[in-house]
Structure 1
Amino acid sequence: MTRHIHPILASYIPVAEGLAKTLGQHCEVVLHDLTDISSSIIAIYNGHVSGREVGSPVTNLALQALRTAKTSQEDYDLNYRNDTIKGKQIKSSSLYIKDETGQIIGSLCLNMDLTHIAIAQAALNDMMAFADKAEEGRAAEKFAPTVTSLMEQMIDDCLKKTGKPIALMQKEEKIQFIHLLDEVGLFLIKGAVQHVADLLDVTKYTIYNYLDKKDGR
């Protein structure tokens, strides 16, 4: 016996198919005839998401939602978590279809399987995780276009730590400044000793002497 489908519901079949083709294989689109809840599904696309097919019954959650919708006169229930499909993370939406008298006769339901997206998101979050620089005591990494720019950036950072411009530094403060520069690795750069000597208006041998005092030599 051929099932009679209300013309309004029948008009939604191409809509359901179009949504499924647009949203892709991880989105199940289901059209329910709620006048026969024992075999309510009259069209389903990407049914592998829930394992259902045409002729399958309405779900228990759909029955509860339908009862609520009739009471509250809501036209839809959007973006709710659906844990009824074991092992999958499903986001569901149901849009209620009414006849000419305003009675709910069906629903168009979308069940988006987010499982693969959740796995990919976890992997991306892991890849994007940052170490806590403050806890590790690391300085911010410098990306300089030239070695001269790199030296200037490192010197500026150490000057900020001393809290005093070079012109006002006393001998002990200059020694402290040189030790800071050494700790950040500035003197590993070729020509850095002479550059700092010029800034401090001392000889490079003075710089070496200050560094030797630091090392206890």
Structure 2
Amino acid sequence: MPCLPHSEDRNSAVEVIASVVAQLDSVLPIGVEVVLHDFDLIPNSIVAIAGELTNREVGDPSHSMMLERVTDIGKDGFVSFESVMMDGRKVRSTSIEVRDLDGAAVAALSVNVDISPWEAMRDLVDSVLHGVSGGQKHVGEVSNAPAVSAELDGPSPNFVRNVDELAVLMIRREIAAAGVAVKRMSRADKLSVVQRLNDRGFFLIREAAVQIADALEVTRFTVYNYLKEIESNDA
């Protein structure tokens, strides 16, 4: 941890650190703040501040949580914690304790970072990634292979380029939605897949019956029989 000279020189040393902090004001990114606290001036301990995250000024009091946690710094010389501002922004703070050569705590240098934008970015990325890898396929996604695979082997992030690939996509989605491997599907399971595809206009696609027959491991005539049964039930 940083150490200052003995007590008779500590004031000038704090001033040196304060001057360094003041120069950071023009280079800190938005949402970052550096604060120097002089423990001799508690509660109005701020002697230097760079950044405008909390809109505090020299002579203002320190964060109450920083004061509570500073006793937890211990031999590592720093402590980190999170807090919430009045406007709801979440701030992550790291305070580094400064001791004099006698080992007495005389100051603390704190770095405060607004992490709310980063959390929002993380949530956005998670929503996109989960939408692909979580098994929920979106229109426009399809495997590179034009042949229909009966099972989903993983995410298929490519855009469809023709009608055949659209058929592949629709079949893969409905087989995945069934939640049963094709080899374990009952007749009712396969009928349900065909019915959902029919409801989505799948059989308007050329050679649709052949493609779904291959995927469900049945004959084309079995698919036609499924369609007749569906039409009969609808009637």
TM-score range, shorter chain: 0.5 to 0.7
Q: CA deviation at 1:32?
A: 1.7
1:108 and 1:146, CA in 2 relative to 1: closer, same or farther beyond 3 A? same
Residue 77 in 1 paired to residue 79 in 2? Answer: yes
Cα RMSD (Å) of the superposition? 4.7
Q: Which runs of 5+ in 2 are unaligned?
A: 1-8, 143-159
**Alignment pair present for 1:184 and 2:197:** yes
* Length, aligned pairs only: 191
1:43: Cα distance to partner?
1.0
- Please tell me whether residue 94 in structure 1 is matched to residue 95 in structure 2: yes
**Structure 1 portions without partners, runs of 5+:** 165-172
Given the alignment, which residue of 40, 54, 57 partners 1:53?
A: 57
Q: Structure 1 residues 105 and 148 mapped into 2: Cα distance closer, same or farther (>3 Å)?
A: same
Over residues 36-64 of structure 1, what are the superposed CA-to-partner deviations in whole Å (9 max), with x where a residue is unaligned? Answer: 32543221112x43342112244544443
Deviation at 1:209, TM superposition (A): 6.8
CA distance in 1, matches of 2:67, 2:193: 71
Distance 1:114 1:197 in 2: 52
| CA shift for structure 1 position 190 | 2.3
What are the residue-to-residue correspondences of 1:37-186 with 2, within 5 Å?
Answer: 37-46=42-51, 48-69=52-73, 72-78=74-80, 80-83=81-84, 85-88=85-88, 89-115=90-116, 117=118, 120=120, 124=124, 128=128, 143=142, 144-151=160-167, 154=171, 157=175, 161=182, 163=184, 180-181=193-194, 183-185=196-198, 186=202
Percent of aligned pairs sharing the same letter:
23
Tell me which amino acid in the other structure corresponds to 1:212: K
**Secondary structure of 1:6's aligned partner:** helix
* 1:71-116 Cα deviation digits (max 9, x unpaired): x4451112x1234x43343222111112233322211112223455
1:190 and 1:20, CA in 2 relative to 1: closer, same or farther beyond 3 A? same
Superposition TM-score, scaled by structure 2 size: 0.55
| SS across alignment from 2:49 | strand
Shift of 1:191: 3.6
Identify if the C-alpha distance between structure 1 residues 161 and 139 changes in structure 2 by more than 3 Å, giving closer, same or farther.
farther
Distance 1:101 1:182, change over 3 A: same
TM-score by length of 1: 0.59
With over 3 angstroms needed to count, the CA separation of the structure-2 counterparts of 1:211 and 1:16, relative to structure 1, is same
Larger Rg: 1
Distance in 2 between residues matched to 1:107 and 1:179, nearest whole Å: 67
Which of 2, 7, 16 is the matching residue for 1:11? 16
Q: 2-side partners of 1:99 and 1:75: how far apart?
A: 13
Q: 1:211 corresponds to which letter in structure 2?
A: L
